[in-house]
Amino acid sequence: MLQPLVAVSTDVKQFENYTWHAAPQQYVEAALSGAGVLPVLVPSFGDRLDLDELLSAVDGVMLTGSKSNVHPSLYGKEATERDGPYDEARDATTLPLIRKAVERGVPLLAICRGIQEMNVALGGSLASEIQERPGSLDHRAPVSENQDERFAIHQTVSIKPGSCLAGVFGAGDIKVNSVHRQAVDRLGPKLQVEAVAEDGTVEAVSVRDARAFAVGVQWHPEYWVKSDSVSQRIFKAFGDAVRAHAAARTATRTAAE
């Protein structure tokens, strides 16, 4: 089976007396087993990377979740310690990568921090500590040492009729494991809402008139991709889009020979 390359974002971490550029296993495992693609970790070196060359070599981009948040200065707000932690090296890499992927029609799947990066990259802003807003649900993970409890599927989100994700799930309600304390505030002008939580919080977006699959979700489909049909379907849709992009590029090269 064709296993095209997909660029995967990385966090910059300090441990064992080294600086690491890393991604959690759940994401790379989901890319491999759920989407059927070969994940390639992209170091967060910002403008030192030739992103055009990268996007000429891969057929998709996946942005992972993270404990860090997009730096507020990137959407016109003052940074506070409460809104952290931050990873400015990742911001400097993922935001231009998102813009170039959308421009070039490279399939994009953005998860958790990824949807927030996607919104900021395309002109939107973020709201912090949304559990404190009047009428808002508490979207944070429960306090637990058990990761299965923290990422339990418990929240209902409603898929917008006629949306990209309606083609994946059908319109209506699905159950997801949304875990976050920040969310989309002002929606980027190039984006449209795909799904909302019961309190109106934006839970998924897509790029308007996108040349390829370009979706961000606030929940964590990577965690239960082997056992949950909703999680499986979004990775399959992404993988199918990546393979279609790879096939189109192959056909173009063949025609040119």
Write down the catalytic residue from 112, 194, 203, 245.
112
Measured CA to CA, the distance from residue 238 to residue 77 in angstroms comes to 33
Write down the catalytic residue from 71, 139, 180, 220.
220
Measured CA to CA, the distance from residue 68 to residue 88 in angstroms comes to 9
User: Which amino acid is residue 23, in one-letter code?
Assistant: A
Asked about 164 being catalytic, the answer comes back as no
Tokens of 59: 């057929």
Asked about 112 being catalytic, the answer comes back as yes
Closest C-alpha to 231, from 31, 37, 61: 31
Query: Which residue's structure tokens are 């170039």?
Result: 100
Q: Taking a C-beta distance cutoff of 8 angstroms, is the pair 176, 219 a contact?
A: yes
Q: State how far the alpha carbon of 87 is from the alpha carbons of 36, 59, 66, 70, 84, in Å.
A: 29, 26, 9, 7, 9
Write down the catalytic residue from 117, 203, 222, 245.
222
Measured CA to CA, the distance from residue 221 to residue 230 in angstroms comes to 8
- Using N-to-C axis directions, what is the helix angle for 88-104 and 113-121, rounded to 10°? 70
Query: What stretches of the chain show up as alpha helix (H) in DSSP?
Result: 25-29, 51-57, 88-104, 113-121, 147-150, 166-169, 229-256
Asked about 220 being catalytic, the answer comes back as yes
Measured CA to CA, the distance from residue 136 to residue 87 in angstroms comes to 27
**What amino acid positions are annotated as catalytic residues?**
112, 220, 222
